[in-house]
């Protein structure tokens, strides 16, 4: 279930999408081109949309489709920005991150063990061990 954190990742809870996003999961995937880019990721609980800067995201679209965002306080419990080198822009209780991967608290132990292994592998060895080490880690439960 862990997703790789790019320069900045917009991470959205699938639960919020199911409950609030007009058109549900399929509309979100279409609106944010999840299936078109190898950089965007999906796991059981999360979507991650990769960009270079937070200003590159269409937060207005999220809000138009039903997601909540407190603009004055720069907070949402439906989504969060995660910077590769700075962590979460605000804290949410449905996400854990280590500046390399982010995951839902219900991630299984095998997936978390693989996160640990990837994070502790020498860069020269990453592509020898895994074809795509910087993608979502999604193992059978």
Read off the pTM.
0.86
pLDDT higher at 54 or 16: 16
> Where along the chain do its domains lie?
3-129
- Exposure pattern of 67-102 as b/e (b: 16+ CB <10 Å)? beeeeeeeebbbbbbbbeeeebeeebebbebeeebb
In tens, the pLDDT along 36-85 reads: 888 898 989 999 999 988 888 889 999 999 999 999 999 999 999 999 99
DSSP states of 101-137 as a string?
Answer: EEE-TT--HHHHHHHHHHHTS-HHHHHHH-S-TTS--
Residue 42 carries which DSSP code? E
In tens, the pLDDT along 87-140 reads: 999 999 999 999 999 999 998 888 888 889 888 888 778 777 777 766 666 666
């Amino acid at each position: 279930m862990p997703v790789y954190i790019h320069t900045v990742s917009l991470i959205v809870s699938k639960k919020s999408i199911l409950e609030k996003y007009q058109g549900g999961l399929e509309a979100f995937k279409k609106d944010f081109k999840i299936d078109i880019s190898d950089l965007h990721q999906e796991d059981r609980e999360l979507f991650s949309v990769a960009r270079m800067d937070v200003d590159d995201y269409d937060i207005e679209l999220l809000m138009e489709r039903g997601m909540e965002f407190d603009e004055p306080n720069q907070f949402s419990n439906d989504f969060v920005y995660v910077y590769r080198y700075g962590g979460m822009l605000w804290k949410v209780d449905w996400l854990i991150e280590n500046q390399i991967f982010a995951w839902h608290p219900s991630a299984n132990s095998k997936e978390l063990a693989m996160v640990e292994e990837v994070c502790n592998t020498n860069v020269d060895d990453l592509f020898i061990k895994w074809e795509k080490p910087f993608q979502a880690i999604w193992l059978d439960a």
